[in-house]
């Protein structure tokens, strides 16, 4: 099989709306490496968009799924339940931020977790409104798109979106949006657009993923909590991209001294199997009536088995600490290159959730250089993802299990791509 043939077949058989970044096709993958159908090797710093914190095909995940496959693969949890679903909920309840009683429901995709968090918040408060942030990404379903704060390419041509969704600017120091600007904008929303007593939830990413790895300053998160407490609004942390060790903690909200009422999670939760979750205060989670939550595949047994193995692997292999150390290594590398690469505007992030933003000589965003760096890296066998409202940020999502030698090789390629 040739990559070029597959590109032609893809163009003929699948819609262009499913945009595909690479023009080579996966054949097999192991930990942090991937081989295409022509035998070319790539170092994977994309990790299936933040899904593979435990690497490709971790042996313990494979073993857990194989064992489950021998027993049963699907019953529909809402029809015939199974113990592993409960065990995973108990483990997440014990580990998610917040020293209060929690409950967890499972779904399939990140967007579905977000949809359900909003359903739960509306049911619990009896209010319709939801506030989200510019640059935020919450998925491709109707409510996901409505909440997402980036029009191109996610929202173009797909409206109208569900109503009662409002946006405020997310703090973004490099582009002149301070914490105070964001908070002022929220107060302005309450004056001009929506009565805070009609708002069910404020949803935010503690570190914006697609938006450019913008880290929420502590005073911003504290202010959000304060506004929520003042008006009876629920605070929802969307940890779909930040969760499961990416930021040097199991959940990014552990970096803050406030806790959300609800947390959405997906991606690395099940290390490559489609599984998502909403975890939150028990009384809030219990607001929807029986039958209001769920889905045919929600909490699929293979995915749940994989997720239980993910939690064990993260703990047994010390991957959360390792991720923080790897992130520091990358940060040091990029900081060291700043003086030689004038396009580097900012290196930012937390733990292993690190990104570099590129700018032009006049300080404006530099998406062209970003694409060049991506292309040059790919030519040398390193898979990098971009992000950012202006498409001018490269984000790094290497598996936390990456071997030291492969990490070093990846960083060398990155340096060559930046200096070329």
Please count the helices (runs of H) and the strands (runs of E) in the chain.
13, 15
Structure tokens at 185: 């904008």
User: Restricting to residues 44-103, which ones interact with ligand PLP according to CB under 6 A?
Assistant: 49
User: Which residues, in sequence order, are CB contacts of 409 under 8 Å at separation 6+?
Assistant: 43
Q: Does 139 bind ligand PLP (CB under 6 A)?
A: yes
Give the span between the Cα atoms of 93 and 104, in whole angstroms: 7
* C-beta separation of 269 from 275 below 8 A: yes
From the number of C-beta atoms within 10 Å of its C-beta (0-12, 13-18, 19+), residue 128 rates as: middle
Q: Does 399 bind ligand PLP (CB under 6 A)?
A: no
Q: Does 206 bind ligand PLP (CB under 6 A)?
A: no
Give the span between the Cα atoms of 279 and 92, in whole angstroms: 8
Give the span between the Cα atoms of 266 and 109, in whole angstroms: 6
Q: What angle do CA 201, 202, 205 make, to 5 degrees?
A: 135
Q: How far is the CB of 238 from ligand PLP (least distance, A)?
A: 4
Q: Does 295 bind ligand PLP (CB under 6 A)?
A: no
Give the span between the Cα atoms of 263 and 284, in whole angstroms: 12
Candidate list 56, 103, 138, 255; residue touching ligand PLP; CB under 6 A: 138
Q: Does 320 bind ligand PLP (CB under 6 A)?
A: no
Q: How many residues bind ligand PLP (CB under 6 A)?
A: 15
Q: Does 201 bind ligand PLP (CB under 6 A)?
A: no
Q: Does 205 bind ligand PLP (CB under 6 A)?
A: yes
C-beta closer to ligand PLP: residue 263 or 366 = 263
C-beta closer to ligand PLP: residue 25 or 154 = 154
Structure tokens at 208: 């914006």
C-beta closer to ligand PLP: residue 115 or 409 = 115
Candidate list 36, 44, 210, 343; residue touching ligand PLP; CB under 6 A: 210
Candidate list 97, 110, 272, 295; residue touching ligand PLP; CB under 6 A: 110
Among the candidate windows 106-114, 182-190, 224-232, 346-354, which touches ligand PLP by CB under 6 A? 106-114
Q: How far is the CB of 412 from ligand PLP (least distance, A)?
A: 28
Give the span between the Cα atoms of 414 and 93, in whole angstroms: 39
Q: What angle do CA 113, 110, 240 make, to 5 degrees?
A: 100
Among the candidate windows 31-39, 136-144, 245-253, 285-293, which touches ligand PLP by CB under 6 A? 136-144
Question: Between the CA of residue 102 and those of 95, 282, 415, what are the distances in Å?
Answer: 10, 4, 45
DSSP code string of 18-75: S--S-SS-EEEEEBTEEEETT--EEEESSHHHHT-TT-BT-HHHHHHHHHHHHH-S--
Number of residue whose CB is nearest ligand PLP: 110
C-beta closer to ligand PLP: residue 381 or 391 = 391
Q: Does 203 bind ligand PLP (CB under 6 A)?
A: no
β 382-383/353-358 pair status:
unpaired
Structure tokens at 219: 């005073």
Candidate list 96, 114, 165, 373; residue touching ligand PLP; CB under 6 A: 114
Count of CB atoms situated within 10 Å of the CB of 53: 27
Give the span between the Cα atoms of 105 and 88, in whole angstroms: 10
Q: How far is the CB of 342 from ligand PLP (least distance, A)?
A: 30
Q: How far is the CB of 15 from ligand PLP (least distance, A)?
A: 17
Q: Does 238 bind ligand PLP (CB under 6 A)?
A: yes
Q: Does 266 bind ligand PLP (CB under 6 A)?
A: yes
Give the span between the Cα atoms of 408 and 390, in whole angstroms: 29
Candidate list 65, 111, 215, 350; residue touching ligand PLP; CB under 6 A: 111
Q: Does 261 bind ligand PLP (CB under 6 A)?
A: no
Among the candidate windows 79-87, 183-191, 203-211, 253-261, which touches ligand PLP by CB under 6 A? 203-211
Question: Between the CA of residue 202 and those of 5, 117, 146, what are the distances in Å?
Answer: 47, 11, 13
Q: How far is the CB of 387 from ligand PLP (least distance, A)?
A: 9
* C-beta separation of 29 from 7 below 8 A: no
203: phi then psi, degrees, rounded to nearest 5: -110, 135
Q: How far is the CB of 170 from ligand PLP (least distance, A)?
A: 12
C-beta closer to ligand PLP: residue 45 or 369 = 45
3-state DSSP assignment of residue 271: coil
C-beta closer to ligand PLP: residue 51 or 186 = 51
C-beta closer to ligand PLP: residue 244 or 369 = 244
C-beta closer to ligand PLP: residue 144 or 196 = 144
Which positions touch ligand PLP (CB under 6 A)?
49, 109-111, 114, 137-139, 205, 209-210, 238, 240-241, 266
């Amino acid at each position: 099989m040739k990559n070029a043939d597959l590109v032609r077949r893809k163009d003929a058989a699948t819609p262009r709306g499913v945009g595909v970044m690479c023009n080579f096709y996966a054949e097999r993958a192991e930990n942090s490496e991937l081989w295409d159908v022509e035998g070319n090797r790539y170092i994977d710093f994309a990790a299936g968009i933040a899904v593979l914190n435990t690497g490709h095909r971790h042996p313990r995940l494979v073993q857990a799924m194989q064992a489950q496959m021998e027993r049963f693969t699907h019953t529909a949890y809402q029809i015939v339940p199974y113990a592993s679903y409960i065990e995973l909920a108990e483990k997440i309840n014990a580990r998610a931020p917040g020293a209060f009683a929690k409950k967890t429901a499972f779904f399939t995709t990140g967007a579905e977790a977000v949809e359900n968090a909003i359903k739960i918040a509306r049911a619990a408060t009896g209010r319709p409104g939801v506030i989200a942030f510019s640059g935020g990404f919450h998925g491709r379903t109707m409510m996901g798109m409505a909440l997402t704060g980036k029009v191109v390419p996610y929202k173009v041509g797909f409206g109208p979106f569900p109503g009662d969704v409002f946006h405020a600017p997310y703090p973004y120091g490099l582009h002149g949006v301070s914490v105070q600007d964001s908070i002022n904008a929220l107060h302005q929303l309450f004056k001009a657009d929506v009565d805070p007593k009609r708002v069910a939830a404020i949803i935010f990413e503690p570190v914006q993923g697609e938006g450019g790895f913008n880290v929420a300053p502590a005073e911003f998160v504290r202010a959000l909590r304060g506004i929520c407490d003042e008006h009876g609004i629920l605070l929802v942390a969307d940890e779909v991209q930040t969760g499961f060790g990416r930021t040097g903690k199991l959940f990014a909200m552990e970096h803050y001294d406030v806790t959300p009422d609800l947390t959405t999670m997906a991606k690395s939760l099940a290390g490559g199997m489609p599984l998502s979750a909403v975890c939150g205060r028990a009384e809030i989670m219990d607001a929807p009536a029986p039958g209001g939550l769920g889905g045919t595949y929600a909490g699929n047994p293979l995915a749940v088995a994989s997720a239980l193995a993910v939690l064990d692997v993260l703990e047994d292999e010390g991957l959360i600490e390792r991720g923080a150390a790897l992130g520091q290594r990358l940060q040091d590398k990029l900081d060291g290159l700043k003086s030689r690469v004038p396009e580097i505007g900012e290196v930012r992030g937390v733990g292993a959730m690190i990104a570099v933003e590129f700018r032009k000589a006049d300080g404006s965003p530099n998406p062209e250089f970003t694409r060049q760096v991506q292309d040059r890296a790919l030519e040398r066998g390193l898979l990098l993802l971009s992000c950012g409202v202006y498409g001018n940020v490269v984000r790094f999502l290497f598996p936390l299990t990456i071997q030291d030698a492969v990490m070093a090789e990846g960083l060398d390629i990155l340096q060559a791509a930046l200096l070329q």
